[in-house]
Amino acid sequence: MPELPEVETVRRALAASLTGAVVKVVRGQRIAMRRPLEPRLLHEVLRGRRFQEASRRGKFLLLPVDGGGCLLIHLGMSGRLRLTRPERLVEAHTHLVVELDDGRELRLVDPRRFGLAVWLAAGEETTDPALADLGIEPFDPALEDRMPRLIRSRRAPVKALLLDQRLVAGIGNIYAAESLWEAGIRPSRPGRAISEGRLCLLARSIRAVLERAITAGGTTLRDFSGPHGDAGYFAVRLRVYGRGGQPCPRCGRSLRDDVIAGRSTVWCPHCQR
């Protein structure tokens, strides 16, 4: 699933390439996704509206238009946005096409249909169920101060807590594993068993890992790529994710692959305590 760096990569590309474009036509088929996709409704509310600069909340993209309201998008497990010319081959599982006044098309491709593309009227950005309960953003300057309060009262493994979008928004399995390795914290350690100082270090590690991933354009493992089809290159820099049984980049000992919170979790028994 695309996580914060992948979504932020898409956001930045759309901010540079989609801002100012006017919607001519929205077309597609009404299908079941995370919520029903309603191309006719989207056509009615978006036609003639000009896209403003894209924003992000956690793993969600918000594409605002002039006059208020926005198109809320989640890429699900395998979704992709394509900003392309109409003559380009339409990929299988393209469920939504937004025709723009400059001749380009914004296409939503989602083979597994776990994504989301819905209209939010002005003001619903704070009340919609998908966004209302999201936690603090990792790049919020207050994260380091708030991390101990978010984690230290909880018995769950810290890996599970990082995956809880109600605590910190945007972190998934890849960057939780990478951040915990960077901070030297065992993924199965209960939140309440981690000192305040180490949790502050974890907050800094999260930010550092995400910054590096965004700079590299995200992590392309199988499905993700940017709106122009470009792949992310952070996969070659992953220290632990997907490397179970291989040497730890820090100490050279073998990395373990356990299951925590129902997710595969690679970590170093020597470096992470």
For residues 148 and 197, give the distance between their C-alpha atoms in angstroms, rounded to a whole number.
Answer: 8
Can you spell out the DSSP letters for the chain? ---HHHHHHHHHHHHHHTTT-BEEEEEE----SSS---HHHHHHHHTTPBB---EEETTEEEEEBTTS-EEEEE-TTT-EEEEE-TTSPPPTTEEEEEEETTS-EEEEE-TT---EEEEE-TTTTTTSHHHHT--B-TT-TTHHHHHHHHHTT--SBHHHHHH-TTTBTT--HHHHHHHHHHHT--TTSBGGGS-HHHHHHHHHHHHHHHHHHHHTT-B-SSS---TTSPPPBGGGG-SSTT-TTSBPTTT-SBPEEEEETTEEEEE-TTT--
Q: Which of 162, 250, 166 is nearest to 207 (CA)?
A: 162
CA-CA-CA-CA dihedral for 234, 237, 240, 245, to nearest 10: 120
187 is catalytic: no
Contact 177, 241 (CB under 8 A): yes
Among residues 59, 80, 107, 198, the one annotated as catalytic is: 59
Exposed, middle or buried, 81 (CB in 10 Å: 0-12/13-18/19+)?
buried
Query: Which of 24, 50, 113, 263 is an active site residue?
Result: 263
Active site residue 227: no
Active site residue 263: yes
198 catalytically annotated:
no
Which member of 3, 38, 99, 178 is catalytic?
A: 3
Catalytic positions, please? 2-3, 59, 263
